[in-house]
Structure 1
Amino acid sequence: MPELPEVETVRRELEKRVKGFTITAAHDLHPRALKPESIAPLKSINGAKIFDVKRRGKFLWFVLDRPQVLVAHLGMSGQFLIPKKNQPQPKHVRAKFDLSKNFKNKELLFNDQRTFGWVSVEQTVDGIPSSAQHIAKDPFDPFFDRDETINKFAKRKIRIKTALLNQEIMSGVGNIYADETLWRAKVHPEVSTADLTKKKLGLIIDFATEVMDEAIAKNGTSFDDAYKNVNGESGRFEESLAAYGRTDEPCPRCGTPIRRITFGARSSHFCPHCQRKTG
């Protein structure tokens, strides 16, 4: 699933490529493309000009010249693509947006093989779409409060990996970057937040910010064709992963084989030497 670095990479590319364009026609091409809670059909934004592209956690939205915004969540395999001329169309286009600016036309496609992603027309409250109201600020938000987030982690008394994945405490971190964060912090994924000092919780937040910032610089992480940037390029951060997806490979820090354990419906990768549960 695309996490903050992947969504931010997409947001930056969309901002560069579609800001200032007008949506001349929006096409809903699949029954699951439009979120059921959308307040209007996609065609309702025909004629809207794109003022900006914003993000909170894994949600992104197009700011339009009207009160409504166009929100998108990439789900497991959602992609925004701008195909080049004479390039074959992607196989799983769920929505299409015809764009125009100064007699220049282009197509923006929402491609989603697994159909867990969606787009939605929504109202905003304090600039945040209705579907993202419950989502906490992420570390790249200018109003992110590090001390407040530390206190939220400390009060939960749950496993730190679970806490990192909770988008209502701090948004943006998914399975990949949670494993990488905890590897850098030398913290076992099953350790309770109640057993971590506020200083250690702060370091975990800092490492999460650091690893996601590095991932953004490499356009995110791609293991297959499920994630691609708007220009069709894959991310390169998988080359820098220390723990995630490296079962039985040597820990880059100490050489101990990386272990994988099941964690609810997910898996966790960690170094049993560097990230000891006790002691």
Structure 2
Amino acid sequence: MPEGPPILLMKEDLQKFAGEKVIDVKGNSLQDNHGVKDHILREIKTFGKQTFLIFDTVNIRIHLLMFGSYSLFEKKDQQDNLRLGLVFKNGGMYFYTCNVKLVNDDFLANIDWEADVMSDEWNPAKAEKKLKSNPKMMACDALMDQDIFSGVGNIIKNEALFRIGIHPESLIENLPQKKLEELIAEARNYSFDFKKWKKANVLKKNFQIYHQKICPKCGLEIIEKETGKGKRTSFFCAKDQKLY
């Protein structure tokens, strides 16, 4: 599942179509045009792993799920997987193997935009409050909670915890205040590093712990284990990541 940084990169690719009129709609998600064809795409917004295409009378939510993708040109060999294609005068945007859903303005109004770790509206104080209201939550589950850290996925979770030396199974209530603040800050810091490296096509070269075998700090073998309520895979060093 794409994490927040690739979604922001996708938005940058699609941004040139904001303010342009849709001249054709393709794909198997919208049974009719729903006020899209011949209408102007007013804005593109992102929230974590979700993308919203804003029109005057309708909003479209795109979620790439586990294996979704997008393209600026139509892929003839993937017609069966085309969920939505919007054609403009000077090109188009095409979404494959993803979830496409119409949402109303109330849906958008109820989103806590301050929970998006890569947004200018990101509110670390609110994140801290949410964490402290879930004291028994493991650090690995906390970072993957989209209501707290929207946009954070398994790569960011693992790499951020390694950077700050916290074992993924540490309980929030056991973290010293300084470590809690580091966890909140690093979720955002690593996300922007992720975006920079992804754009330069060097993301995997910069992995320290994710899918690695040997700890770059101490040389011990990295542990791979399903952790937390979500049972997502964690990679960690028993020596350099303290269990609180």
Query: How high is the TM-score relative to the length of structure 2?
Result: 0.88
How far apart are 1:55 and its partner, in Å?
Answer: 0.5
- Residue 127 of structure 2 corresponds to residue 149 of structure 1: yes
Q: Give the one of 183, 191, 205 matched to 1:239.
A: 205
How far apart are 1:272 and its partner, in Å?
Answer: 1.1
Q: Give the one of 45, 49, 63 matched to 1:54.
A: 45
- Residue 96 of structure 2 corresponds to residue 111 of structure 1: yes
CA gap 1:91/1:276 in 2 versus in 1, 3 angstroms: farther
Q: CA RMSD in A?
A: 2.4
How far apart are 1:269 and its partner, in Å?
Answer: 0.5
- Residue 185 of structure 2 corresponds to residue 219 of structure 1: no
Q: What is aligned with 2:19?
A: 20
CA contact (8 A) 2:70 2:94 kept: yes
Amino acid at match of 1:265: K
How far apart are 1:74 and its partner, in Å?
Answer: 0.7
How far apart are 1:95 and its partner, in Å?
Answer: 2.4
Amino acid at match of 2:147: E
Distance 2:32 2:2 in 1: 23
- Residue 187 of structure 2 corresponds to residue 208 of structure 1: yes
Per-residue CA deviations over 1:5-50 (Å, capped at 9, x if unaligned) read 111111111113x223222222232xxx46xxxxxx4511111211
Per-residue CA deviations over 1:86-106 (Å, capped at 9, x if unaligned) read x754465322424223xx3x2
The structure with the greater share of residues assigned to helix is: 2
Q: What is aligned with 1:177?
A: 156
SS class of match (2:120)? coil
Amino acid at match of 1:137: A
Name structure 2 gaps, 5 residues minimum.
Answer: none
CA contact (8 A) 1:58 1:172 kept: yes
CA gap 1:256/1:164 in 2 versus in 1, 3 angstroms: same
Distance 1:62 1:214 in 2: 26
- Residue 102 of structure 2 corresponds to residue 121 of structure 1: yes
Query: How high is the TM-score relative to the length of structure 1?
Result: 0.78
SS class of match (2:23)? strand
Distance 1:74 1:197 in 2: 36
Distance 2:93 2:54 in 1: 16
Q: What is aligned with 1:267?
A: 233
Alignment length, in residue pairs? 240
Q: What is aligned with 1:231?
A: none
How far apart are 1:75 and its partner, in Å?
Answer: 0.4
CA contact (8 A) 2:7 2:50 kept: yes
Percent identity among equivalent residues?
Answer: 22
Q: What is aligned with 2:220?
A: 256
Amino acid at match of 2:123: D
CA gap 1:174/1:136 in 2 versus in 1, 3 angstroms: farther
Q: What is aligned with 2:2?
A: 2
How far apart are 1:150 and its partner, in Å?
Answer: 1.1
Within-5 A mapping of 1:191-206:
191-206=170-185
Name structure 1 gaps, 5 residues minimum.
Answer: 35-40, 221-233
Distance 2:124 2:192 in 1: 16
